[in-house]
A and B are shown apart, each in its own frame.
Chain A
Amino acid sequence: MDDLMTEFLTETAENLAALDIELVKLEQEPETPGLLANIFRLVHTIKGTCGFFGLPRLEALAHAGENVLGRFRDGELVVTPPAISVILAAIDGIKVILASLETTGAEPPGDDEALIARLNAVAEGSGAAAEPAMAESIDTAPVKPAKTARRSRSSKPNKPLEPPQPVMEHESTHDDIAPLVGQTDGPPPRLDTGATTNASAAAEQHDSAAVMQSIRVNVDLLETLMTTVSELVLSRNQLLQLSRRQKDSEFVAPLQRLNHVVSELQENVMKTRMQPIGNAWAKFPRIVRDLAHETHKKIELVMKGADTELDRQVLELIKDPLTHMVRNSADHGIETPDERLAAGKSTTGVIALDAYHEGGQIVIEISDDGRGLSIHKIKSKALKVGLVTEAELAGLTEAQVQQFIFRAGFSTAESVTAVSGRGVGMDVVRTNIEKIGGTIEVSTQSGFGTRFTIKIPLTLAIVSALIVEVGGQSFAVPQTSVIELVRTSEAGSNRQRIERLNGAPVLRLRDRLLPLVVLSEVLKLDPVDAITTSSDRFVVVTQVGSQVFGMIVDQVFDTEEIVVKPMASITRHLTMFSGNTILGDGSVIMILDPGGVAGAIGNPAAGTGHAKSEAESHAADAREKSALLVFRAGGGAPKAVPLRWIARLEEFERNDIEYVSGRYVIQYRGKLMPVVPFDSASSVEKDGRQPALVFADGGRVMALLVDAVVDILETELDVHQSSSMAGITGSAIIAGRATEMIDARYFCEQAFEGWAEPANWSEPSDEDGAHDFTYSTGQRHHAPEEREIARAA
């Protein structure tokens, strides 16, 4: 009986979760065929099964709910939001009873007279005219018997209209059980319940084929299986390591096979832990619906990629943060219909959830088209709470200001509502997500909405890690946080040399200043002399949240799949490590927690409120500042153009530039590329070499001849739109000099008629486009060396 009860509880919990979603759907699209029948069947199954267990209170409530649904289905009642609200309330009531059943094994004391009365009132609401018997049942003190009497009467006249199958179960239940509902003293007779379950089983038959394919397995069993497989993987690694040392061993072939089998086993066991993210989203439609009603808003919830699978453990951990964020979006993000109309938007706000795989990670986006984050409010709140001073605030970019919402005790909600605004929100979300090795970012546009992007690892149990050596000891660095490896040498050019600013090591990496951490110092390891003096060092470029920094290590070995084992409790306070693991050779090594290392160098997000840490502003720069190429051409002030428009820097022999049908062209990579002199008045006749900027878009390439490339620098762009000169958009102060910003479009138009489609060029701030442009051409990688060529020239 206990097992049966557990089964019943699990099944009912699932059914109820499905009900929440279905009911919200029903409210939105009452006409959808099959929806009502499905809901009715779910409620009916609950009712039928609890009769079998002798749970009178649960049965009464489910029965009353079914009543209302029956009348919806029979078309006697119109589906209205208030009616749905009452049914949802009944489902909540059922949940309460189930919770008690789960903990105590018995129904909680008390009854649901009030709720049942409401349900009956709804059921009778529109039926009153057709059914004269209604009036007396409302007044009758013992509600249940009256209602059931009415119920059986009302269902009968409609019988011929009903679809055949539901009628069967429906009828058998009501006629037999109805008289019993009022008597709460014992389980219904066996015969009835048998009929009920048979009927519901018949109703479920159409999807029973799918049901047969899966079985319920205890989660603990899966966990044990997972642990065992992890151990197996470790032993396998050890064996492989051994066999590698022995050439011509007879074990090689069987080991190879073992290797394959274990890998497959591991993969499949991992799969058993995978669950669609939709499981975590299941309650969102209900939450959003309730919130919308409470706040009198119209909100549509769009969910994409609900079948994206991720580890059960990860799923559990992100459930709450996600719920919180959806609530936030509904409560703070989406405006009231009036406000939306005034802002020129449709009255219905949209909250969109999107999940997809990307590079071994799961990306979850939560976006709304609401009012967005108010930079102004965040600023004033940050000042009030004392996170920053006025002077510091002035130096922050918008993106940096937005990150304040992830700080503890930060909420900009003007008033505390029942739902959110208690100021315990986003910092908890961030902490929870970072705890599982994920990151969260926010981007917002005032008036147009907010988008949160969460990236989390697929699984926590087995991770791919980079093995590095520091101070003679090996450590594992989770691959997900490693962006790249840079080999540095003292003898090399300044691009690959570690430089020091007042002792603090930094690396110039593609024109960004990367703060470095000497890992042996952070970990208080004795530096190994031989290695310190050797000139070659490796920098592991690491990203934690928006913070990017480099860790200096002595050696870099392989990447290995490692099984994360927790630290012993007496060493768990060490934030530098997220766990330890056994490598293939049997040695135990620590797994570095990049977050902990970042914390050791002063994590700006969790720190003292001084947000201008180098790393953070560095990361934010990438978004807010523009990389500009400064060059000289056509005399006068230096010129500048956003670096992302440039595909390459080249130097051409002037003799190679040919004049064809009124245009200058050059043979470039087997094609003819138009060449435009910066100053159209000047002609291309002199000998020697001339630097050129190559612009490319969608296969079309053109070169702009300039006198000299001066520099590439990142700066905040403040263009004064004051130029009337062709090809110049305006002037800006760059590196302390007045510089003219050139209009790439102008020159492109000169090269191709209609080449510059506005969609491609008019939005230099369009981040996605810009990124594609820059990265696809590999510009960032080539720029420094080519700049040097240009300088030499």
Chain B
Amino acid sequence: MNTVIDIAHNAMRNESADTSEFVTMTIAGQLFGIPVLQVQDVLGPQRIARIPMAPAWVAGVLNLRGRIVTAIDVRRRLGLPKLETTGTEMSIVVDHNAELYSLLVDEVGEVMVCRADCVAPNPPTLDPVWQEISKGIVQLNDRLMIILHVQRLFDLAHAAAA
């Protein structure tokens, strides 16, 4: 499953450059990646209890083996419309300040390894909300992957602007 990414124009660079592993996921056709060490769990569709009055991008809470996990609707967080078809969404559970959060995404892909030096900075033309949550762009052979800045997802001040 693991794919070693070869970046064409960077291939000959420093071989000792750190590599990192990412769990990939798709949201509205866009590929995102989260450093694998941050991921606690990958879940299928869950029974989620809504939290009244909470921001729209907080999908609710769910019970993960006796722990309460707060679900974040990443689509809404990015200002995208809700997923039309329900029942297929998956989530990635991450730890943030000793609390568990699950990130609702359209689909979870695979684990990829890529070298740190193949990460490009955000292009300035990117939407400000996306700028916030993007740590950089990984240039894959056939497509681009946004590295998700997980911490910023929970940042209320930034979220308010979203």
Q: Is A571 on the interface with B (CB-CB < 8 A)?
A: yes
Among B64-85, those with CB < 8 Å from A are: 66, 68, 70
Q: Which of B44-52, B122-130, B132-140 is the contact stretch?
A: B44-52
Name B49's closest neighbour in chain A (CB-CB). A588
Name A582's closest neighbour in chain B (CB-CB). B63
Q: Is the CB of A473 within 8 A of B154?
A: no
Q: Is A224 on the interface with B (CB-CB < 8 A)?
A: no
Q: Is the CB of A565 within 8 A of B51?
A: no
Residues in chain B near residue A473, CB distance under 8 A: 49-50, 52
Q: Which of A357-365, A390-398, A573-581, A771-779 is the contact stretch?
A: A573-581
Residues in chain A near residue B47, CB distance under 8 A: 587
Q: Is the CB of A525 within 8 A of B52?
A: yes
Assuming the contacts A586-B63, A587-B47, A588-B62, asked whether A565 and B68 have C-beta atoms less than 8 A apart, the reply is yes
SS class, residues of chain A in contact with chain B: mixed
Q: How far is the CB of B72 from chain A (nearest CB, A)?
A: 8
Tell me the count of chain B residues lying within 8 A, CB to CB, of chain A.
Answer: 21
B-contact bits for A542-581, CB 8 A (1 contact / 0 none): 0000000000000000000000010011110110110011
Q: Give the CA-CA distance A590 to B49 in the complex, in Å.
A: 9
Q: Give the CA-CA distance A577 to B61 in the complex, in Å.
A: 13
Q: Is the CB of B156 within 8 A of A570?
A: yes
Q: How far is the CB of A585 from chain B (nearest CB, A)?
A: 10
Q: Give the CA-CA distance A27 to B53 in the complex, in Å.
A: 59
Name B70's closest neighbour in chain A (CB-CB). A568
Q: How far is the CB of A413 from chain B (nearest CB, A)?
A: 40
A-contact bits for B33-67, CB 8 A (1 contact / 0 none): 00000000000000101111111001011110010
Q: Give the CA-CA distance A590 to B60 in the complex, in Å.
A: 10
Most buried by B among A235, A565, A568, A580: A568
Name B155's closest neighbour in chain A (CB-CB). A570
Q: How far is the CB of B65 from chain A (nearest CB, A)?
A: 10
Q: Is the CB of B66 within 8 A of A577?
A: no
Q: Give the CA-CA distance A589 to B50 in the complex, in Å.
A: 9
Q: Is the CB of A574 within 8 A of B66?
A: no
Q: Is the CB of B52 within 8 A of A590?
A: yes
Q: Give the CA-CA distance A571 to B53 in the complex, in Å.
A: 9
Residues in chain A near residue B63, CB distance under 8 A: 582, 586-588
Q: Give the CA-CA distance A573 to B160 in the complex, in Å.
A: 13
Q: Is the CB of A569 within 8 A of B97?
A: yes
Residues in chain A near residue B156, CB distance under 8 A: 570, 573
Q: How far is the CB of A696 from chain B (nearest CB, A)?
A: 49
Q: Is B142 on the interface with A (CB-CB < 8 A)?
A: no
B-contact bits for A585-599, CB 8 A (1 contact / 0 none): 011111000000000
Residues in chain B near residue A568, CB distance under 8 A: 61, 68, 70, 99, 101
Most buried by A among B50, B54, B156: B54
B-contact bits for A519-543, CB 8 A (1 contact / 0 none): 0000111000000000000000000
Name A470's closest neighbour in chain B (CB-CB). B52
Name B153's closest neighbour in chain A (CB-CB). A570
Residues in chain A near residue B54, CB distance under 8 A: 571, 574
Assuming the contacts A569-B99, A569-B154, A587-B49, asked whether A231 and B66 have C-beta atoms less than 8 A apart, the reply is yes
| Contact surface of B with A, Cβ cutoff 8 Å | 47, 49-55, 58, 60-63, 66, 68, 70, 97, 99, 101, 154, 156
| Contact surface of A with B, Cβ cutoff 8 Å | 231, 234-235, 473, 523-525, 565, 568-571, 573-574, 576-577, 580-582, 586-590
Given known contacts A571-B70, A581-B68, A588-B68, what 14 new A-B pairs fall within 8 Å (CB)?
A568-B68, A568-B99, A569-B97, A569-B99, A569-B154, A570-B58, A571-B51, A571-B54, A571-B58, A573-B156, A577-B51, A582-B68, A586-B63, A589-B49
Interface CB pairs A-B, < 8 A, 17: A235-B66, A473-B50, A473-B52, A523-B53, A524-B52, A569-B97, A573-B156, A574-B51, A574-B53, A577-B51, A582-B66, A588-B49, A588-B62, A588-B63, A589-B49, A590-B49, A590-B52
Interchain residue pairs A-B with the least CB separation, the first 4: A523-B52, A568-B70, A588-B61, A588-B49
